[in-house]
Amino acid sequence: MATDYSKPPLDLKWRSHTLFIISTVALGLFTDLFLYGLVVPILPFILSDRLHVPHSEIQTYTSILLACFAASSVLFSLPIGIIADRLSTRQLPFLVGLFALLASTILLYLGQSIAILILARILQGMSAAVVWTIGLAMVMDTVGSEKLGVTIGSISGIISVGELVAPVLGGVVYKKAGSGAVFGMGFGLLAIDFVMRLAIIEKKAAKKYGCDEQEGEERDEEADESTALLSNGLTKNENLEEWKIGKDQPFWIRKLPILYCLGNKRLLTAQLVAFIQATLLGTFDATIPTEAQDLWDFDSLKAGLLFVPQVLPYLLLGPICGKGVDKYGARLAAGIGLAYITIPLILLRIPQPGGTAEIVKYCVLLALTGLGLALISAPSIVEASYVIEQYHKANKDFFGENGPYAQLYAINSMCFSLGLTFGPLLAGSLRDSIGYGNMNAVIAGLCAVVSVLSFMFLGKIPKVVES
């Protein structure tokens, strides 16, 4: 039975409004990181208190449960992206991802065996793959490439709060009120997330009912498509010529055209930036608490509070840095950001055991790394999205009407998850073998290499020249 588009859904205007859609995606990403961070610090206590795992085996099983999450996220990302690009709606898989997260949370709350906890972590990784793949594709569908940087920068700042607050909150609430209260917070957040995901109406669906807040802008853009002059001296149509794909492509490329795009140096470098960004985050998560414990005998709460000076610049400056990426392209932000962050990384060896002065030094240096993280929060997504958008516009028949955007964000999610896995493993190994200061120097060296590659291969996005 055909849908009657003459009768719009209730409250269509606000349900399809850009701000509501972006807020829903941001809440989905926030929920994912919040529940991840909420559960991680109490996993050892679940193993010992509920499952009665011997103390000598807790570290092993904790590492296995952490690895299951990362592996699941990597394995499920690309299949989810392929499926999402072939569906007519992003909302359905977005909701399915939430149900996976709900099932995971219930199993973690009630599970009485290692096997059940492993299944829960696999489902949680699957949900993360969905929300980061579908959510970012929905953002691209909603705001387009022109405002993607400032949007991603704003979202990154908001969700970083969840990443910061959750471990501290999880540890404190578990200690004071037990696991029931911890998971109660999670279920409450899931309920709000579910209502918002159910309520959204995507832009392409809203258009069918005649509701589109950007309709006039799109008509103007289409009218100027052939004549608008870009800052690189070409018109829009001329600029697309360099993105044309030859007709004679192998069968496996025609079946999965995103693979052709992976030969593009700009796209590969953008994914490398995502990987190093996640490696940095994973490194900080794994080493800040242990270093604080070794230097000043901090407990988990005090160590968690050390993340505040790092996250605040990220939260405040993320949208500004993202807007700069939209205006000037990814090359400057990624190149300068990664080169800059090497300085505070190298200087993190300065704080020593002592009093307040040493702790203040450490906090200042962490705040300086937060500025670097803000600079590199948006370039990867913006650059990768621009490359895929140009391929899609120039080869509509090759990629299909929807394009391979969900597949792109699936690959980005895989790179990010690999970085989150690689960072703690590398940092833990280096810290034990060569010390904290030298470990950060090695990470700084990796950032310097990727900075050079960013200057070499990332591009400047041409803009329409004002006439």
pLDDT tens, residue by residue, 245-297: 877 778 887 778 888 888 889 999 999 999 998 888 878 877 887 788 788 88
- Residue found by looking up tokens 């990470």 in the block: 443
Please report which confidence band the pLDDT of residue 337 belongs to, taking 50, 70 and 90 as the band edges. very high
Amino acid symbol at 458 = L
What is the arithmetic mean of pLDDT over 126-154? 79
Q: How far is CA 342 from CA 150, 283, 436, in A?
A: 24, 14, 15
**Is 85 a residue whose pLDDT tops 60?**
yes
Please report which confidence band the pLDDT of residue 220 belongs to, taking 50, 70 and 90 as the band edges. very low
Least confident of 4-18, 22-36, 369-383: 4-18
Please report which residue ranges of 329-464 form alpha helices under DSSP H: 330-347, 356-375, 379-394, 396-399, 405-434, 436-457
Q: How far is CA 450 from the centre of its chain?
A: 19
Please give the pLDDT value at position 211: 63
Residue scoring higher pLDDT (132 or 367): 367
Assigned architecture for domain 10-204: Up-down Bundle (1.20)
Compute the chain's Rg from CA coordinates: 23
**Is 225 a residue whose pLDDT tops 70?**
no
Domain boundaries 244-459, CATH class: mainly alpha
CA atoms within 13 Å, Cβ hemisphere of 369: 29
**Is 335 a residue whose pLDDT tops 70?**
yes
**Is 243 a residue whose pLDDT tops 60?**
yes
Write the CB contacts of 206 (distance below 8 Å, at least 6 apart in sequence).
12, 16, 212
Global pTM? 0.78
Q: What is the mean pLDDT of the chain?
A: 80
Please report which confidence band the pLDDT of residue 209 belongs to, taking 50, 70 and 90 as the band edges. low
For residue 416, give both structure tokens: 């990010």
Residue scoring higher pLDDT (22 or 465): 22
Please give the pLDDT value at position 1: 43
pLDDT tens readout for residues 436-455:
899 999 999 999 999 999 99
Q: How far is CA 377 from CA 145, 254, 381, 409, in A?
A: 15, 32, 8, 15
**Is 384 a residue whose pLDDT tops 60?**
yes
Please give the pLDDT value at position 249: 78
Please report which confidence band the pLDDT of residue 400 belongs to, taking 50, 70 and 90 as the band edges. confident
What is the arithmetic mean of pLDDT over 101-117? 87
Q: Across 110-119, 147-156, 278-287, 305-314, which has the greatest mean pLDDT?
A: 110-119
Distance CA 231, CA 229 (A): 7
Residue scoring higher pLDDT (452 or 93): 452
DSSP string covering 410-444: HHHHHHHHHHHHHHHHHHHHHHHHH-HHHHHHHHH
Domain positions in the chain are 10-204, 244-459
Backbone dihedral region for residue 153 (phi beyond 0: left; psi -120 to 50: alpha; all else: beta) = alpha
Please report which confidence band the pLDDT of residue 367 belongs to, taking 50, 70 and 90 as the band edges. very high
**Is 362 a residue whose pLDDT tops 50?**
yes
What is the arithmetic mean of pLDDT over 129-134? 86
